[in-house]
Chains A and B, each alone.
Chain A
């Protein structure tokens, strides 16, 4: 904690260690930062966006959370850190699935989906997931923000899915786990019908769509003001937007108050120009955010 604001907090110990590791640059492929079970992932992630030296030397690939299938439900009730770590994750490994019944597993997955419908889920026993499920995800890379919602996948972008992952939303009717090509995982498409994400009272995600373009002169000030005010309660944000008068897609991602946005590829001729944003956060002011976003329509 430096100036006291949660959104600007970085991990000084991490900066020191990354600086030291850079003296061995070229002798390792990646750095895996393993936090304690009670750590808040945000300051770790923010270190990669706030500290210029770290930003010059490294980039954040993804936040991976390992959840215990047997105990996660209990921890979500009594440990706010557990909720943070689920909400913040890009990839969630549900481990020790051999210790729970199929019903219990579905319950755990529903709870996870209630908090974070956007992370990739992997079922695992003794964390037996392939390396490419957790490394090289580029989850914070703006060029890779293509998959914030299942409908996106079904209409386009299949050519961009080099890893053939399939992202499911809460109501997609699939069982909610990784559908990759590795064979440690079940491929029980269609067996999870009727599953609903289990709503969490405190931590939610909010996805909003404008069926068309937004006015950048309205949207930019609105989103900046929103994260300035609500940054402490917004853990992650993402968006793909069709800006009025712009041929390229505008994409952004954020961690608390820190927003990173840029123009990405061109909208394809047959692609529908829609604007969609997603927030994951604590006690989100849904009506206010919805109303604010809708006013940004062009």
Chain B
């Protein structure tokens, strides 16, 4: 990282509506737009696929093969690299509030209090959470799902019985599980993270954020959790048996504006950091070195999507105001 700006390696794209999420399907960057459209950007060609005919996309995730989108039309739709859409589920007009995917093709989603887990063979199991669900995440081992809701989280084996309940008062939003499966972390309404060491339910509170954390990313070695919600990317250490308990986080990309999205590089200890003013920086965790990717003065167009391709050579980004783009890292 000898250069200080990668701006000349960025291709800008007018998407036209809020970008809910970005992903690479094969080599093609694809943007899920709020208006129900998937925008495919190939060299010299843009293609739009209406995944939701009459719905806004609320949640979108990709496993690299398909883009799965949940809408306010109640539909869960999977669309592949060729733009072929398949309706996975129809929640009859209820909104799809949360979504998570597993590498083997399993997925889980929620609509209000209803949680559905669908295994790789397509068998769907149901669970009614005690309150509306905002966050879902599969555990890395076993077919088990973490469910964030009001006053705590539930861990559910869709093929077994009742879920285990992890209590912590308050409203829990997004959920994430450490890649080694030892820690569950949720973001909360009160501008903090809550964590549980799953083995003994020991609590961890990660606070000090001026805003809600709505974006998490685990480092490629699984030892660090990068988070949004502060005027820097706050990165918590999880390598010891106690996780971040009693330890401070590292901070990368300190700027006078809030971090809105974070995405660790798939193989290096480098973070893509998106800000509420539309800036994107790359930052190296070890020494904090930064490289500029995009940004203007006096913008309020928050970065809403960041996604690396599988090789880590390209970064797709998108904003609330419908600006999209791709960074091609120079060889």
Binding site for B on A (CB under 8 A): 2-4, 10, 12-13, 15-16, 20, 22-25, 51-53
Contact = CB atoms under 8 A, between A and B. Distances in A.
B189 A13 contact: no
A23 B57 contact: yes
A16 B211 contact: no
Contacts of B169: 2-4
B178 interface: no
The dominant DSSP class at the B interface is: loop
B150 interface: yes
B170 A3 contact: yes
| A15, A22, A24: residue with the most chain B Cβ atoms closer than 10 Å | A24
B18 A23 contact: yes
A20 B170 contact: no
B189 A16 contact: no
B95 A2 contact: no
Contacts of B231: none
Given A23-B20, A23-B56, A12 B212 contact: no
A48 to B, nearest CB: 14
Given A2-B190, A3-B190, A24-B34, A12 B56 contact: no
Contacts of A51: 189
B189 A15 contact: yes
A13 B190 contact: no
A208 B57 CA distance: 51
B211 A52 contact: yes
Contact of B189 (A2, A20, A25): A2
Given A20-B58, A20-B95, A12 B150 contact: yes
Contacts of A2: 169-171, 189-190
B116 to A, nearest CB: 18
Contacts of A25: 18, 34
Given A2-B190, A12-B189, A24-B34, 4 more contacts: A12-B150, A13-B132, A23-B34, A23-B57
Contacts of B171: 2, 12
A20 B72 contact: yes
B97 interface: yes
A86 B303 CA distance: 42
A53 B132 contact: no
B103 to A, nearest CB: 28
Interface string B34-61: 1000000000000000000000111000
B212 A53 contact: yes
Interface of B: 18, 20, 34, 56-58, 72, 95, 97, 132, 134, 150, 169-171, 189-190, 211-212
B129 to A, nearest CB: 13
A13 B211 CA distance: 18
B74 to A, nearest CB: 12
A20 B111 CA distance: 12
| A2, A25, A51, A53: residue with the most chain B Cβ atoms closer than 10 Å | A2
Nearest to A24: B56
Contacts of B18: 22-23, 25
Q: Which 7 A-B pairs have the closest CB atoms?
A: A23-B56, A23-B34, A12-B171, A24-B56, A2-B170, A20-B58, A20-B95
B72 A24 contact: yes
A23 B56 CA distance: 6
A16 to B, nearest CB: 6
Contacts of B150: 12
Contacts of A24: 34, 56, 72
18 contacts: A2-B170, A2-B190, A3-B170, A4-B169, A12-B134, A12-B150, A12-B171, A12-B189, A15-B189, A16-B132, A20-B56, A23-B20, A23-B56, A23-B57, A23-B72, A24-B72, A25-B18, A51-B189
Nearest to A50: B189
Contacts of A15: 189
Contacts of B58: 20, 23
A52 B230 CA distance: 13
A51 B212 CA distance: 9
Nearest to B188: A2
| A10, A16, A23: residue with the most chain B Cβ atoms closer than 10 Å | A23
A52 B171 CA distance: 15
A20 B18 CA distance: 12
A116 to B, nearest CB: 30
Contacts of B72: 20, 23-24
A22 B304 CA distance: 13
A53 B212 CA distance: 9
Nearest to B57: A23
A17 to B, nearest CB: 8
Contacts of B57: 23
A12 B151 CA distance: 12
A224 B45 CA distance: 59
B43 to A, nearest CB: 29
A25 B322 CA distance: 12
A16 B34 contact: no
Nearest to B149: A12
